[in-house]
Amino acid sequence: MNMNPPLLELHNISYSYPGQKNPLLKEINFHVHKEQIGIIGPNGSGKTTLFQIIMGLLKADDGQIVLQGTEIKTEKDFFMLRRKLGFLFQDSDDQLFSPTVLEDIAFGPLNHGATPQEARDISIRTLEKLGLKGFEDRITHRLSGGEKKLVALATILSMEPEMLLLDEPSNNLDPATRERLIKILREQKLAHIIISHDLDFLASTCNQLYTMQDGQLIRCEEKQIHNHEHIHPYGNQPHLHGI
Amino acid sequence: MIDESFSMGSTLFHKRDPKVKLIGAAAISIVLALCSSIVVAGIGVIVTAILLFLSKPAPCLLFKRFLQVNVFNLFIWITLPLTYGGGETMQFSFLNLSLDGIRMAALISLKSNGILFCFLALLATSSTANLGHGMEKLGVPRKLTFLLLFSYRQLFVIHREYQRLQRAAKLRGFTPKNSLHTYRTYSYLFGMTLVRSWNRGERVHQAMILRGFTGNLIPLDQPQPGKADYFFLFTMLFISLLLAGLSLMPLTL
């Protein structure tokens, strides 16, 4: 037996939408130990679908999902998997469904057997960790877009996951909240997979980059020499991009 | 949109446990709804008006709510005296007004305002979320409380989605007119809102499943009712018993 199996393995995952001839995902093989991975790819290339398959929201036509060496098959297996992998939706309004922030963050822990007191404590701790102290009794629909994103992240972190799946987390965020999210993700030191079109965001939060092309995940080389055009001043001098 | 303006405040009504307020409001409004005497309904209005006064609502908001309910009563006052058959009539210029009709209109107005005052004083002083949890604690079927809490949360989202579509139509030069094009556009807007709400419902359900939802909504601990709450409950039940007792007495009106 392998002493230290990867956190998550995908074996030959294929998927096509019903009624469509060309498969969206073609025999994807992929594994994560503790890496922080970014995935870029055009719209409609199947990135979100891949996340939904990993979380058991969609069923792959073929292939296996293996979590820490155990194959995930039944709904009961997925119940366990969903506790270990936290999925942050693209639209926070879909994720925040309770009237108040505290209730929303406590929802996961309560479902996984925490007592109300434990759930309350862990929720308040999570809020403090994200710099959202005092948000407990705020009404979720009255939060700003950036606050919603951070609270949505808190609802997932309160379940103490071992890996995060983030679907375009930096979309529609103002620069300050975006920076805050980058800082939080760096401090978490959790394994994560981030889907994004925001290359700078990926560069600041990930150490591996994949592209999604023709239903395949392709690993990008770490550094590539390339030419590009500049619209900022001093583009002819050596410089760093992003942070 | 719902802004729950009545629930912001710190009077003794706002501080009471939602459970005792729910029981109190149910008791008083049932008695008021079932009574058939103008005197009892009148006393009910006075008592609930006092309760409402004590909950210190913002006057202009209160007036708006009052108007909303009494527009309906106005129609009752226009129609009932002219259409209520039988009994004595009263000559008013060239019209024959039914006395029973007038009596019925007065009774309906008093009852509806009494119940309005009671709900504004007791229920509107709690947030919808608290009322939902209170209902669940009181043993109201779970599906109903889910329905209340989720509609409350999603109403804002659906409304915003509808506004977004409406804005998109406006930006492309849509001005509502009495034309087939207008009706078709509106039906598209409603249809799209419905489809989007459905999709959103599915995504919310997925979000719940991802966080381990298996069909039970487990509430966080709610504060237990204290002495003041029990005293409040006792007072409300006393008021409703008094009104119920009065309506059993042989009153002429």
Q: What is the pLDDT of residues A70-121, one digit of tens each?
A: 999 998 999 999 999 999 999 898 888 887 899 899 999 988 888 889 999 9
Handedness of CA B37, B41, B46, B50 (dihedral sign): positive
How many Å apart are CA A193 and CA A123, to the nearest integer?
24
The pLDDT assigned to A149 comes to 94
Task: Looking at the structure, tell me whether residues B92 and B145 fall in a common domain.
Answer: no
Was domain A35-40+74-219 assigned CATH 3.40.50.300?
yes
Q: Into how many domains does chain B fold?
A: 2
The pLDDT assigned to A225 comes to 61
pLDDT in tens, B167-194: 888 888 888 888 898 999 889 988 988 8
Is B218 domain-assigned? Answer: no
Distance from CA of A240 to the nearest CA of B (A): 38
Average pLDDT over residues A195-221: 89
Residue of A nearest to B148 (CA): A99
Task: Looking at the structure, tell me whether residues B106 and B76 fall in a common domain.
Answer: yes
Q: Of A206-210, B52-56, B133-137, where does mean pLDDT reach its minimum?
A: B133-137
How many Å apart are CA A93 and CA B154, to the nearest integer?
9
- Confidence category of residue A231, pLDDT binned at 50, 70, 90: confident
Contact assignment for B220 to A97 by CB distance below 8 Å? no
Q: Which of B153, B204, B210 to mutate to test the interface with A (most CBs of A within 10 A)?
A: B210
The pLDDT assigned to B253 comes to 67
- Confidence category of residue B3, pLDDT binned at 50, 70, 90: low
Q: Domain ranges for chain A, please list them.
A: 35-40+74-219
Residue of A nearest to B208 (CA): A95
The pLDDT assigned to A222 comes to 66
Is B93 domain-assigned? Answer: yes
Cα distances (Å, whole numbers) of residue B242 to B27, B52, B245: 11, 18, 5
pLDDT in tens, A35-61: 999 999 888 888 999 999 999 999 999
- Measured at the CA of B248, the angle between CA B247 and CA B252, to 5 degrees, comes to 70
Residue A2 scores a pLDDT above 60: no
Structural domain for B175, as ranges: 135-210
- CB contacts < 8 A (A, B): 76
- Confidence category of residue B165, pLDDT binned at 50, 70, 90: confident
Is B159 domain-assigned? Answer: yes
ipTM for the predicted complex: 0.80
pLDDT in tens, B119-139: 999 998 888 878 888 888 888
The pLDDT assigned to B2 comes to 59
Q: Which residues of B touch A97 (CB under 8 A)?
A: 150, 153-154, 204, 207-208
How many Å apart are CA B13 and CA B52, to the nearest integer?
9
Task: Looking at the structure, tell me whether residues B27 and B109 fall in a common domain.
Answer: yes
**Percentage of chain B exceeding pLDDT 70:** 97
Is B3 domain-assigned? Answer: no
Task: Looking at the structure, tell me whether residues B123 and B139 fall in a common domain.
Answer: no
**HEC profile of A173-203:** CCHHHHHHHHHHHHHHCCEEEEECCCHHHHH
Residue B4 scores a pLDDT above 80: no
Task: Looking at the structure, tell me whether residues B72 and B191 fall in a common domain.
Answer: no
Across chain A, what does the average pLDDT equal?
88
Task: Looking at the structure, tell me whether residues B113 and B230 fall in a common domain.
Answer: yes
Is B219 domain-assigned? Answer: no
Per-position DSSP letters for B163-217, written without gaps between them: HHHHHHHHHTT----SSHHHHHHHHHHHHHHHHHHHHHHHHHHHHHHHTT--S--
Q: Which residues of A touch B206 (CB under 8 A)?
A: 57, 94
Residue of B nearest to A105 (CA): B211
Cα distances (Å, whole numbers) of residue B1 to A93, B56, B153, B158, B189: 17, 22, 12, 11, 19
